[in-house]
Amino acid sequence: MKNIELVNDIVTIRSMQLTDIDAIFEAGNYSEIWTHLVVTIQSREDAARFVEQSLLNQELGKEHPFVIIDNKTNRIIGSTKLMNPDPYHNRIEIGFSWLSPAYWRSPINSNCKYLLMQYCFEVLNLNRIQIQADERNERSRNAIARIGATQEGILRDHMVRKDGTPRNTVIFSVIRPEWPMVKLHIQQLLMNQMQPAR
């Protein structure tokens, strides 16, 4: 997977590049983004480490990092990744997704998940997409459930948070037989999100 670009009317998701460091810093320099994630972007150096490590992991075949671009402003507003590919078992994970707080509760996240799932199921022909979240991260868990992913269970003490406390991880998935219905569900969700408020 090299130089991927996924586009609709709302958002563009394209492969991350070294030249994105400054824009990643600008989009990610909000402490509230990183409460439930294992890294923090508080400086340009943090952003550089994030981008460089992401691109190194891409070279190692561990992930494919993307930037998220708001088509209205043509500005980078966040990032997401396809992670932990398993060609033998035909599965992948959508993870490490974050947005600048101004875009929380906007249609951006649902559009991103739709484009990524469509790519994974209809281009890569995968059988399973996994998404996970910190059990404490209700906003993220609700967003994942809202797009039609199935909660499969909770991995107890699965990770260690930045503050040293053990983290329970909630596992969600969408599998190939479910994709047609999930696709229609997200399309309807996106249509509803585009309706003007009354």
Angstrom distances, CA of residue 16 to CA of 25, 112, 168: 13, 15, 29
Mean per-residue pLDDT, 151-162: 95
- Count up the domains in the chain and report the number: 1
DSSP bridge partners of 75: 70
pLDDT at 161 over 60: yes
Average pLDDT over the chain, rounded to whole? Answer: 95
Half-sphere exposure of 161 (CA within 13 A, CB side): 16
Distance CA(146)–CA(153), nearest Å, equals 17
Q: What is the pLDDT of residue 96?
A: 95
User: Which CATH number covers residue 149?
Assistant: 3.40.630.30
* Residue whose pair of structure tokens reads 């260690």 in the numeric block: 160
Count of beta carbons in the 10 Å neighbourhood of residue 39 = 13
Q: Are 12 and 5 in contact (CB under 8 A)?
A: yes
Contacts of 180 (CB under 8 A, 6+ apart): none
Residue-range definition of the domain harbouring residue 57: 5-194
CA dihedral 130, 8, 184, 179 (to 10 degrees): -30
pLDDT at 195 over 70: no
Predicted model pTM: 0.93
Amino acid identity for residue 134 in this structure: D
Q: pLDDT digit string (tens) for 104-135?
A: 989 999 999 999 999 999 999 999 999 999 99
Distance CA(49)–CA(43), nearest Å, equals 10
pLDDT at 197 over 60: no
- Secondary structure letter of residue 51 according to DSSP: H
Q: What is the pLDDT of residue 95?
A: 96
Mean per-residue pLDDT, 8-36: 96
Distance CA(142)–CA(26), nearest Å, equals 26
Q: Are 83 and 96 in contact (CB under 8 A)?
A: yes
Distance CA(94)–CA(34), nearest Å, equals 17
